[in-house]
Amino acid sequence: MALPEIAIVGRPNVGKSSLFNRLVGRRVSIVDPTPGTTRDRVSQLVELLPPTDLAYDPTHDPAPKLAEIVDTGGFGVYTADGGRYDDAGEDLSLLTPEIEAQIRAGAERATLILFVIDAQTGVTSLDMRIAQMIRAAGRADRVLLVANKVDDDSWIAAAQDASRLGFGPPVLTSASSAYGKRSFLEAVWNRLPDSDEQATVPEMKIAIVGRRNAGKSTLINALAGEPRVIVSEIAGTTRDSVDVRFELDGHAFVAIDTAGVRKRKSWADDIEYYSHQRAKAAIGRGDVCVLLLDAREPITQVEKRLALELVEQHKPTVIAVNKWDLVEEKLKTSDYIDYITQELFALDFAPLVFLSAAKGEGVAPLIKVCANLHEQANHRETTGRLNAVVKAILETRGPSSKLGTKAKIFYVSQIATNPPTIAIVVNKPELFEGTYERYLKNQLHEQLPFSEVPIKIIFSARKRMTPEQLAARAKAPRTDAGDSDDTIDESFGD
């Protein structure tokens, strides 16, 4: 089922992104006074609660309404004083047609259009132009006029001037101070259609990361089947992390397009800093990550730092080589694989996919690999199997000690999934850390169903149980006959 869409439109700097973040309940869109900060259609799924007077009506039990809310760029020329050109000399005003096309697409698809004006500035000629565009498109009946920046009662009279736009009295609110928040949310809820159907819950979030111009936005558009994000030769076009919901073979997924990462010393402004932070946060939100490479370009420190970030966050990762169609006649696949393995050794367990996002080649196999990694990361191995595997590894090769201390493992158990987290109780944790831990992880990759996803190992020393704990354990019933805990008091090293 297609979710109802709420599109937020308006001229630059009326507070659209702040209002979007207020609806979502967290910072998603970047808020900055620079016009053109938001360039793509940034979307999130939101659950809107019914008005409080209905929620407590014993004769009626209204349900929350689920919708996709879309933040669009400011309608108007993409320029600012001293900000028309970026640090590479690119003319950013060239993005204006693409930004306005994204706004029109969002408005045409929307079930509800939140037309936002600045109550403190008043109605401008650009506001009038946007109103005419909405009426010309036959979308006037979908508009909810919102007067933003009504920080207190003193701005109410000025905000009412927005009625002359022809969409009825505006809803008064302030995204920054939350003035009028309840009445605003209730007005939005009342304008959305009722539905007894449930939207398909996304099964997996895929975060796509990489440096500038690697083709992340092109890949997102290929997944979505439509131009959801702006694709431009101007590096750094995407500023926000853009969530795009798509379906494949009856399964729903969310792809997260992130801002292109580059060296810290090359950041041009605060917006690039926040874009970088959004990219790191997107890695954390993703169930699976795609590190996108440009086959035409050598691997740089940017990709290596991203690889380390993915490893540190223990994220299942696919290394996707984009634009392969442009170089496959010049490069041998085996040689390129050896090159990637050498340069991105931190991700030596990650699978490789070659694709052309622009042509749509290799996109479906990429999603299937992501789904397989998601399954691996959520697999839970039995305690008995884990103990047997680790015991065999230790018998083959155990950690060495300069003092001659014999390493002993008392108990092994998987305590979490995504990432698979294995707790190992040992006599001296320091014997297992470092080189031996890497060896142990490699062996577990080979012998357990976690061959292509990061494994997190936690070593801890065995603690003596108090008499009370021993008595409680003796009385506790055995709940898992399949997972033998007999090894908890035995040392594999004995």
Q: What is the CATH number of the domain that holds 481?
A: 3.30.300.20
Question: Same structural domain for residues 68 and 166?
Answer: yes
Distance (Å, rounded) from C-alpha 79 to C-alpha 88? 16
For the ranges 98-102, 151-155, 345-349, 434-438, the lowest mean pLDDT is seen at 98-102
Instruction: Confirm whether 494 is domain-assigned.
Output: no
Instruction: Confirm whether 373 is domain-assigned.
Output: yes
**Cβ proximity of 241 and 282 under 8 Å:** yes
Question: Same structural domain for residues 38 and 146?
Answer: yes
Whole domain around residue 353: which residue ranges?
A: 204-377
Q: Which ranges in 110-180 belong to alpha helices (H)?
A: 125-136, 156-159
Task: Give Cβ neighbours of residue 84 (< 8 Å, ≥ 6 apart).
Answer: 91, 92, 93
User: How much of the chain exceeds pLDDT 70, in percent?
Assistant: 71
CATH assignment at residue 130? 3.40.50.300
User: What average pLDDT does range 125-133 have in this prediction?
Assistant: 86
**Cβ proximity of 293 and 278 under 8 Å:** no
- DSSP bridge partners of 424: 412, 459
Distance (Å, rounded) from C-alpha 389 to C-alpha 355? 37
Q: State the pLDDT confidence band at 260, using cuts at 50, 70 and 90.
A: low
Q: State the pLDDT confidence band at 17, using cuts at 50, 70 and 90.
A: confident
Instruction: Confirm whether 127 is domain-assigned.
Output: yes
Question: Same structural domain for residues 31 and 69?
Answer: yes
Instruction: Confirm whether 230 is domain-assigned.
Output: yes
pLDDT reported for residue 491: 44
**Nearest CA to 10 among 121, 110, 136, 113?**
113
pLDDT at residue 83 is higher than 50? no
**Cβ proximity of 437 and 455 under 8 Å:** no
Instruction: Confirm whether 198 is domain-assigned.
Output: no
pLDDT reported for residue 250: 76
**How many alpha carbons fall within 13 Å on the CB side of residue 428?**
13
User: What average pLDDT does range 203-210 have in this prediction?
Assistant: 90
Please, what is the average pLDDT of the chain? 78
Question: Same structural domain for residues 64 and 182?
Answer: yes
End-to-end CA distance of the chain: 60
For the ranges 89-103, 104-118, 379-393, the lowest mean pLDDT is seen at 89-103
Q: State the pLDDT confidence band at 88, using cuts at 50, 70 and 90.
A: very low
pLDDT reported for residue 489: 40
Question: Same structural domain for residues 186 and 326?
Answer: no
Question: Same structural domain for residues 287 and 168?
Answer: no
pLDDT reported for residue 100: 60
Task: Calculate the alpha carbon distances from 130 to 108, 187, 226, 234 in Å.
Answer: 13, 22, 24, 27
Task: Give Cβ neighbours of residue 354 (< 8 Å, ≥ 6 apart).
Answer: 295, 320, 321, 324, 328, 333, 362
pLDDT at residue 148 is higher than 60? yes
Q: How many residues are present in the chain?
A: 494
pLDDT at residue 81 is higher than 70? no
Instruction: Confirm whether 102 is domain-assigned.
Output: yes
Question: Same structural domain for residues 17 and 154?
Answer: yes
**Cβ proximity of 217 and 237 under 8 Å:** yes
- DSSP bridge partners of 46: 67
pLDDT at residue 354 is higher than 80? yes
* 472: helix, strand or coil: helix
pLDDT reported for residue 232: 37
Give the residue from 191, 217, 244 where a domain finishes: 191
User: What average pLDDT does range 430-452 have in this prediction?
Assistant: 92
Question: Same structural domain for residues 358 and 390?
Answer: no
What is the domain count for the chain? 3
Q: How far is CA 128 from the centre of its chain?
A: 36
pLDDT reported for residue 318: 97
Q: Which residues of 106-117 are buried (b: 16+ CB within 10 A; e: fewer)?
A: bbeebbbbbbbb
Instruction: Confirm whether 135 is domain-assigned.
Output: yes
User: How much of the chain exceeds pLDDT 90, in percent?
Assistant: 37
Question: Same structural domain for residues 360 and 242?
Answer: yes
Report the side by side order of strands in the sheet with 352-354.
242-248, 251-257, 204-209, 288-294, 317-322, 352-354
pLDDT at residue 330 is higher than 60? yes
Question: Same structural domain for residues 166 and 289?
Answer: no
Question: Same structural domain for residues 363 and 407?
Answer: no
Give the residue from 377, 398, 432 where a domain finishes: 377
Max avg pLDDT among 30-39, 76-85, 261-270, 460-469: 460-469
Instruction: Confirm whether 196 is domain-assigned.
Output: no
Question: Same structural domain for residues 322 and 266?
Answer: yes
Give the residue from 342, 377, 412 where a domain finishes: 377
Distance (Å, rounded) from C-alpha 111 to C-alpha 93? 30
| Between 406 and 92, residue with greater pLDDT | 406
Q: State the pLDDT confidence band at 80, using cuts at 50, 70 and 90.
A: very low
**Nearest CA to 373 among 207, 485, 132, 486?**
207
Give the β-pairing of 242-248 and 251-257.
antiparallel
User: What average pLDDT does range 19-28 have in this prediction?
Assistant: 71
Give residue 333's identity as a one-letter amino acid code.
Answer: T
